[in-house]
């Protein structure tokens, strides 16, 4: 089955919270077979876990991301995504808008794979959506 939804890091992070947003969990449960994450999101999760002090929370997060790795497809950031990213970051910079680096790569991965980006951070992605074919959903708000 083709993946439809590319989950941003802030969506995936909800899964590890003690009190996650119920809308996010409900939408994910209904669509989990259609969901994937980008290799950039994977990097952000590993980075975040590596920064935590040793202890129970770190162990919980590390177990969570290893379990996630086994249960969700990770879409690579490839040359097509890099080309798309390079083009829209250049266009946005000419307009005076500097884009967050990781967010740009995640958006380019969604665009290059024809996926809907699921994020709670729609404001950071808005300049990309204005000039490209980036479709977004915020499962916190639906």
pTM of the predicted protein model: 0.94
The answer on pLDDT for 88 being more than 70 is: yes
Q: Are 78 and 112 in contact (CB under 8 A)?
A: yes
Supply angle C-alpha 54, 47, 31, rounded to 5.
110
What pLDDT, on a 0 to 100 scale, did the predictor assign at position 2?
A: 85
What's the whole-number average pLDDT of the chain? 94
Distance, CA of 57 to CA of 59 (rounded, Å): 5
State the first-to-last Cα distance of the chain, in angstroms, to the nearest integer. 24
Averaged pLDDT for residues 7-29: 95
Mean pLDDT of the region 12-19: 92
Question: Given a cut of 90, is residue 138 above it in pLDDT?
Answer: yes
Q: What is the mean pLDDT of residues 55-66?
A: 94
Query: Residues 52, 58, 62, 65: is their CA dihedral positive or negative?
Result: negative
For 87, the token pair is 């083009």
Ramachandran angles phi, psi of 73, nearest 5° = -75, 140
- Looking at the predicted structure, is the pLDDT value of residue 142 above 90? no
Instruction: Show the beta-strand stretches assigned E in 65-123.
Output: 73-75, 116-118
- For the cut 70, the answer to whether the pLDDT of residue 28 exceeds it is yes
Does pLDDT of 111 surpass 90? Answer: yes
| Assigned token pair, 45 | 């999760």
Distance CA 52, CA 35 (A): 27
């Amino acid at each position: 089955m083709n993946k439809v939804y590319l989950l941003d890091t802030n969506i995936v992070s909800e899964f590890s919270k003690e009190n996650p947003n119920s809308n996010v969990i409900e939408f994910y449960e209904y669509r989990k077979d259609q969901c994937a994450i980008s290799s950039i999101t994977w990097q952000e999760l590993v980075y975040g876990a590596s920064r935590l002090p040793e202890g129970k929370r770190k162990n919980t997060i590390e177990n969570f991301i290893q379990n996630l790795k086994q249960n969700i497809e990770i879409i690579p950031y490839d040359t097509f995504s890099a080309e798309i990213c390079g083009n829209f970051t250049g266009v946005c910079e000419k307009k005076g808008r500097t884009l967050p680096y990781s967010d740009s790569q995640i958006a380019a991965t969604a665009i290059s794979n024809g996926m809907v980006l699921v994020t709670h951070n729609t404001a950071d992605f808005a300049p990309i959506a204005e000039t490209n074919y980036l479709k977004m959903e915020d499962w916190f708000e639906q």
